[in-house]
Amino acid sequence: MKGALRFLSVPGKKIQTHGTRIVMGLCVVMLFVLHGAHVITLPLVNGLEGDLYDARLRASMPNTVNPQVVIIDIDEKSLKQEGRWPWSRARLADLVNRLFDRYQVAALGMDVVYAESESQTSLKQFERLTRQGDVQGKEAQALLNRIKPLLDGDRRFAQSMKGRKVVLGYYFKSEENTEAESLSGKLPQTACDLAQVTAQGMQLQHESGYGANLPVLQEAAAGGGHFIPNVDKDGIIRSVPLVVEYQGKCYAALSLALLQQVLDVPQVMAAHDADAWSRQVLKVGEIGIPVMRDGSAWIPYRGFQGSFTYVSATDVLTGKADPRLLEGTVALLGTTAAGLLDYRATPVSSSYAGVEVHANLVAGMLDGTIRKSPTVIHGMESWMLLVLGIVFAILLGRASPLQVVWMSALLAALVFVGNFMLWLGADVVIPLASSLMMILMLFVLNMSYGFLTEERTKRLYKDRFGQYVSPEVIEEMIANPQALESMEGTSRNMTVLFSDIRNFTTISEGLEPKQLMRMMNEYLTPMTRLIIDKSKYQGTIDKYIGDAIMAFWGAPLPDEEHARHAVLAALDMQALAHELTVKFRDEGWPEIRIGVGLNSGMMAVGNMGSSFRRAYTVLGDAVNLAARLEGLTKEYGVGILVSESTREAVPDVAFRELDRVRVKGKDVAVAIFEPMGRSEEVSGEQLQRIELTHLMLAHYRAQEWDAAEAMLDQLTADDAVLVKLYRGRISELRSHPPGPDWDGVTAFKTK
């Protein structure tokens, strides 16, 4: 487009495109750099980032079953066999006993909160009877003491957990002003030293309230962990805060608390990993878990729901479960029963069992498959966007539309492939959406700007050339601006054409002005259409001079066959003139005959004129000669005359030489020719006329007057003017012999 704009520039005012595109591109880059530095937020980018994260996760999931973690499922089958939820604490105690005694699980995590005491109706009735005296004596009291533990479900449940690696679940609340009403139950022991964690540069999420288990249950359990995930703005769960801060203390997630029990590690430590990709880690014994600055970890989803072994809770209670599935595993008690509503939206499914989220985290910690998110990622992202954006904005700002397309596609592919390679090879999560969106925005900006510029350029082209060339040529000029020459003027080898209506003065005097205007429109329109037809001749209309047409070939677009196109156009113009004569006769208008002069040679072409009016035109001696040749067509009684330079450039057209002339204003004589038609289409009669004319000229130039006249006698009535012209010359030369040095050239003193 640069070439096109330069082509259409006007003196004193140059249209600038590159600088504007580059500046606009840099503004887009800075917008994304500020987003990467968290100075501003671009919601669309954040939304796309989540979608791209999900796509990469789904594309790289192993989709295999992990045998280390088993889910004890409170499913529809269990509810049908054991009754509706919640079950009695006694039944839950039986479940815990079965899991550890019969099935030998390594640890048990419960994705359930037991915040309220179980209703103990039987025990309360027995105590009332004792107080009322219905049952008396030491025997009654002793019986009460023996029965009470059996009837107290909470104590029985607590007793089943003592000395076993059982981790209870609870939840935190982050809403403001909820702390007082949310305080219920007992929190477990802290998971880490908040001061130590903070000293390592981590800034944990702050919670303001909680809902936990009964003190009797939490004190009996080995530990506790919260099961609150990070829910992104699109409602998807992609990460979980492994440690959070509440009232100056540090508490662990259910999955992390389970890992502590499995590894017998009472305290979690924060550390800087030697691996540059995961500087923030939580150390549980020898295991380092990569986390983000706020203590959150990416959930390493293994696949769709069912990536872990599910064992129905009722099968455990009845002893029907396969011991080989449970022995030595980390068990998680949760539910997939539809009525219990423990389903979450995740990257792998919009309805995913919440307990399996914890299972994925536990398995990921044990396998070391949790992905890393470098703490310096925001700085890295900003610098990457800045460097990449500046270079790309400058490159696109100077590129053509096609280059913009392939450069944008190539860079986007490189960024995506590089990011995905780090995802697969180094388990690193690096933002992708900001880079791709920046590339897309730069692409859209440059293409939109190019489109608007192209539309403006089209208007400029149409304004400048709409009356000179065909719409197809204008489209080609727009598509290939590099093929254009500057309008400021250049010298090129071209062909110019002049045509004129014979006896136009007489015609115009015999018609009313309105009729004359209508006739001229009916004449000039088809003639112009013929000349500028891109499929045939690709000519350019220079101007109309009354009834005359001036056209040229070879500009604004180069044309290697400019002479041939011009000659063939002239032949078709003569045929069209005959067709128009028939039409005009029906309108009551006089018939028309036209003369056409053509010449090829070097001429100046460009935007010429004054500060008041300018026109795209051609100038030079070659142009003047064409105008003289058009005038000579009347002298020789032919429709078309071309110069020797034009004739030599068109070998596939049959010509006959008519004379050698020296026109007014030129000292050098030129041969003039009449094109008879395409060589393969010329008739035998025309070939005979060509041969007779050439023989006549040979005798004429040899001053063999009788022989020349003999050739003239054989020419047809179509050459009456030519025959009369040469008979007159021969008669004059007989009377006044030219002498032995005569060159046979005819000099014309008038235009």
Least Cα distance to 47 among 238, 208, 229 occurs for: 238
If pLDDT is split at 50, 70 and 90, which confidence band does 151 have? low
Q: Six-digit token pair at 738?
A: 């030219």
Question: Dihedral of the CA atoms 101, 105, 111, 113 (nearest 10)?
Answer: 30
Q: Given this model, what pLDDT does residue 576 score?
A: 95
pLDDT at 376: 63
Q: Give 130-139 pLDDT, tens digit per residue.
A: 555 555 555 5
pLDDT at 478: 59
For the chain, what's the residue count?
751
d(CA 702, CA 707) in angstroms, rounded, equals 10
CA separation for the pair 746, 405 (Å, rounded)? 63
Q: Is 465 within 8 Å of 616 (Cβ atoms)?
A: yes
Helix (H) or strand (E) holding 244: strand 243-246
pLDDT in tens, 437-449: 888 888 877 777 6
Beta strands 653-662 and 670-678: pairing type? antiparallel
Paired tokens of 571: 């032949």
Can you tell me the distance from the alpha carbon of 392 to that of 394, in angstroms, rounded to the nearest whole number?
A: 5
pLDDT 10s digits, 600-642:
999 998 878 776 777 778 999 999 999 999 999 999 999 999 9
CB 589 within 8 A of CB 583: no
State how beta strands 66-74 and 330-335 pair.
parallel
Lowest mean pLDDT among 20-29, 340-349, 620-629, 683-692: 20-29
Q: Are 541 and 468 in contact (CB under 8 A)?
A: yes
Band (534; pLDDT cuts 50, 70, 90): confident
Q: Are 349 and 304 in contact (CB under 8 A)?
A: yes
Q: What is the DSSP letter of 455?
A: H
Lowest-confidence pick of 81-95, 167-181, 267-281, 424-438: 167-181
d(C-alpha 145, C-alpha 24), whole Å: 84
Provide CB contacts within 8 A for 513, sequence distance 6+. Answer: none
Out of 41-45, 310-314, 401-405, 433-437, least confident range: 401-405
- Reported as type and span, the H/E element at residue 404 is helix 401-426
pLDDT in tens, 60-99: 999 999 999 999 999 999 999 988 888 989 999 999 999 9
- Nearest CA among 80, 16, 29 for reference residue 441: 29
Record the pTM: 0.62
> Please, where are the H alpha helices in 307-353?
313-318, 323-326
- Measured from the Cβ of residue 458, the count of other Cβ atoms closer than 10 Å reads 17
- Give the pLDDT band of residue 555 (cuts 50, 70, 90): confident
Given a cut of 70, is residue 18 above it in pLDDT?
A: no
Cα–Cα distance for residue pair 453/400, rounded to 1 Å: 12
Residue 488 DSSP symbol: T
Residue type, 543: K
pLDDT digits (tens, 9 = 90+) for 319-371: 999 999 999 999 999 998 877 777 899 999 998 999 999 999 999 999 999 99
Name which residue leads in pLDDT, 387 or 94.
Answer: 94
pLDDT at 124: 52
Block residue for tokens 């887009």: 28
Q: Please name the residue that has the structure tokens 């006329």.
A: 689
Q: Is 535 a residue whose pLDDT tops 80?
A: no
Task: Count Cβ atoms below 10 Å from residue 84 Cβ, excluding itself.
Answer: 10
Q: In the chain, where are the structural domains located?
A: 2-41+376-459, 66-118+164-367, 486-650, 680-751
Choose among 625, 398, 659, 405: nearest CA to 495.
625
Contact 378, 38 (CB under 8 A): yes
Look up the CATH number of domain 486-650.
3.30.70.1230
Nearest to 197 by CA among 263, 239, 254, 251: 251
Written as six digits, the tokens of 481 are 């601006």
DSSP string, 580-625: HHHHHHHHTPPP--EEEEEEEEEEEEEEEE-SS-EEEEEESHHHHH
| Mean pLDDT value across residues 671-699 | 94
Q: What is the mean pLDDT of residues 477-502?
A: 75
Question: Tell me, what's the pLDDT at 6?
Answer: 36
Mean pLDDT of the chain: 84
The answer to whether 446 and 25 have CB atoms below 8 angstroms apart is yes
pLDDT surpassing 50 at residue 181 = no
Neighbours of 743 (CB within 10 A): 9
Q: What pLDDT, on a 0 to 100 scale, did the predictor assign at position 364?
A: 95
Which has the minimum average pLDDT: 12-26, 111-125, 643-657?
A: 12-26
Q: Which of 97-111, 612-626, 668-682 has the lowest mean pLDDT?
A: 612-626
Rg (CA), the chain: 49
- DSSP 8-state code for residue 679: G
Is pLDDT of 498 > 50? yes
Residue 522 to residue 592: CA distance in whole angstroms? 12
Residue 643 banded pLDDT, cuts 50, 70, 90: very high
pLDDT of residue 557: 81
* Cα gap 434→60, rounded to integer Å: 21
Q: Check if the beta carbon of residue 255 is closer than 8 Å to that of residue 358.
A: yes
The answer to whether residues 383 and 301 touch, using CB atoms and an 8 Å cutoff, is no
Per DSSP, which regions of 620-740 are E strands?
640-643, 653-662, 670-678
Region 585-609: mean pLDDT is 90
Q: What is the pLDDT of residue 332?
A: 96
**Residues 533 and 659: beta-carbon distance below 8 Å:** no
Nearest-CA neighbor of 218 among 265, 167, 292, 254? 167
Q: What integer is the mean pLDDT of 292-303?
A: 93
Range of weakest confidence among 98-107, 156-165, 208-217, 460-469 = 460-469
Any residues with CB less than 8 A from the CB of 111 and at least 6 apart, and which? 169, 227, 254, 332, 333, 334, 335, 342, 354, 355, 358
